[in-house]
Amino acid sequence: MAEFFPDIPKIEYAGPKSKNPLAFKHYDPDEVVEGQKLKDLLRFSVAYWHTFRGTGTDPFGAATLSRPWDDGSNSVDNALRRVDVAFEFITKLGAPFYCFHDRDVAPEGDSLKATNQIFDTIAKRLKEKQKQTGVKLLWGTANLFSHPRFMHGAATSCNAEVFAFAAAQVKKAIEVTHELGGSNYVFWGGREGYHNLYNTDMKRELDHLATFMHMAHEHAKSIGFKGQFLFEPKPKEPTKHQYDFDAATCLNFIGRNGLDGIVKLNIETNHATLAGHTMMHELETARIHNALGSIDANTGDMLLGWDTDQFPTDIYGTTQCMLVILKQKGLKPGGINFDAKVRRESFDPVDLFYAHIGGMDAFARGAKIAARMRKDGVLDGFVKNRYRSFDSGIGKKIDKRSVGFAELEKYMLDKGEAAGNESGRQEFLENIINDYL
Ligand code: XLS
Ligand code: NI
Ligand code: NI
């Protein structure tokens, strides 16, 4: 079988002292952290779209990336060859999972029927390759944003024909995800949002989105797909007002539309930044609502205001992510997907390896640092103690709701003033965190 990365060996763990750029320094898949092997805790996934379909184009310039195996065509042969490339890459990297949109793996045909046939052909090859290599599908999704038919949205389009097309496409994408043993199915809003209320019935569009998700869930049930549905928040791009703005907005949508427990969240670092939040805030918002399903680990650039989809390299950031993720003992059935692309200047195939190795090492380090902090009870003890006034006395009564405003007024009239404030010690805690890095 042809090798597409002939000069690249299987990437191994070589330890922190290694100077080999094609080895892991921190990600040892079998190292145990908080009772789990790192490979099971982190569940890394390669994103098919950026890694095997990315060309390096940007709004100002043409493709730059050198991908000798790709003839640039939309042929089925080219798509099949990409599958072989993908599985050689993922296997050499040692990532246990991958993710795709339907249109990343399989091009569109002349009709929906032809498109579905092409998708089946590719899915067959994907299935063979999964079996051969042991690589699994973390999640599947449908591309409901690239084709011109989705100009007004997909599930939130003003055009019922487009809603129907999107439904047919998602039906097929769920079926293929099921056939390939996918653990999750993702809804990212894509063009679900609007630019201007002069032409938009927001209520009707949101109702349609809820209808769409219920229909997807009903279909999944009918075919026996047990994977987790995930909604991916993102505040901007491509529309000005995306309906899946941030974790809180998505949770509100889920809760108000009877989708609690059916749909969880796929939280992306870059999207958190665009929403004006930290990733830690978004993760914790999802977690406390029992909705932290999976993450897209790509980060943005603090100086650029769009989804730059960079590989995570900031250990401070990955530590913060892992502090939250470890609280719920990992993300399973979700994982850490690199929805990230190499810069257009990094055009060699080997750059794909450097990028993923760096991201995996950054998360492995974050996991180990966070675990040490948790073992020493650095934050937990502090936080628990900070709220101790609610563990007894009047605080306990408030938590139990056994008092109301009248009792609290009497309590304070008797005391005259609230006592007991203590320092929040933010800088003290920030210093301790730096000690662990
Ligand atoms: C785009 C999104 C997208 C989703 C999958 O910004 O991150 O890539 O993860 O549709
Ligand atoms: Ni994403
Ligand atoms: Ni994104």
Task: Give the residue, by CA position, lying nearest to ligand 1 atom 4.
Answer: 188
Token pair listed for 41: 């805790």
Q: Which atom of ligand 1 sits closest to the CA of residue 237?
A: 6
Residue 71 structure tokens: 């003839």
Is any atom of ligand 1 closer than 6 Å to the C-beta of 282?
no
What is the whole-number distance in angstroms between the Cα of residue 296 and the centre of ligand 2?
A: 5
Quick check: CB of 141 below 6 Å from ligand 1? Answer: yes
Among all bound ligands, the one having the nearest atom to the CA of 267 is 2
* Residues assigned a catalytic role: 101, 104
- Relative to the CA of 266, which ligand 1 atom is closest? 9
CATH topology for 12-376 is TIM Barrel (3.20.20)
Dihedral pair phi/psi, residue 186, rounded to 5°: -105, 140
What is the chain's pLDDT, residue by residue, as a tens digit (437 residues)? 579 999 999 999 999 999 999 999 999 999 999 999 999 999 999 999 999 999 999 999 999 999 999 999 999 999 999 999 999 999 999 999 999 999 999 999 999 999 999 999 999 999 999 999 999 999 999 999 999 999 999 999 999 999 999 999 999 999 999 999 999 999 999 999 999 999 999 999 999 999 999 999 999 999 999 999 999 999 999 999 999 999 999 999 999 999 999 999 999 999 999 999 999 999 999 999 999 999 999 999 989 989 999 999 999 999 999 999 999 999 999 999 999 999 999 999 999 999 999 999 999 999 999 999 999 998 999 999 999 999 999 999 999 999 999 999 999 999 999 999 999 999 999 999 999 99
Rounded to an integer, what distance in angstroms lies between the CA atom of residue 230 and that of residue 77?
A: 32
- Residue 386 C-alpha to ligand 3 middle, in angstroms? 36
In the structure, ligand 2 is a single-atom ion and the residues with CB under 5 Å from it are 268, 296, 339
Please state the three-class secondary structure of the chain as a single string: CCCCCCCCCCCEECCCCCCCCCEECCCCCCCEECCEEHHHHHCEEEEHHHHHHCCCCECCECCCCCCCCCCCCCCHHHHHHHHHHHHHHHHHHCCCEEEEEHHHHCCCCCCHHHHHHHHHHHHHHHHHHHHHHCCEEEEEECCCCCCHHHCCCCCCCCCHHHHHHHHHHHHHHHHHHHHCCCCEEEEECCCCEECCHHHCCHHHHHHHHHHHHHHHHHHHHHHCCCCEEEEECCCCCCCCEECCCCHHHHHHHHHHCCCCCCEEEEEEHHHHHHCCCCHHHHHHHHHHCCCEEEEECCECCCCCCCCCCECCCCHHHHHHHHHHHHHCCCCCCCCEEECCCCCCCCCCHHHHHHHHHHHHHHHHHHHHHHHHHHHCCHHHHHHHHHCHHHCCHHHHHHHHCCCCHHHHHHHHHHHCCCCCCCCCCHHHHHHHHHHHC
Query: Cα(271) to centroid of ligand 1, in Å?
Result: 9
> What are the residue ranges spanned by the domains of the chain?
12-376, 380-436
Q: Is 232 in the pocket of ligand 1 (CB under 6 A)?
A: yes
Q: Whose CA is closest to atom 6 on ligand 1?
A: 307
- Angle in degrees, CA 45, 48, 50, rounded to 5: 105
For ligand 1, mutation pick of 52, 53, 231, 234 (most atoms within 8 Å of CB): 234
How much distance in Å is there from the Cα of 133 to the middle of ligand 1?
A: 26
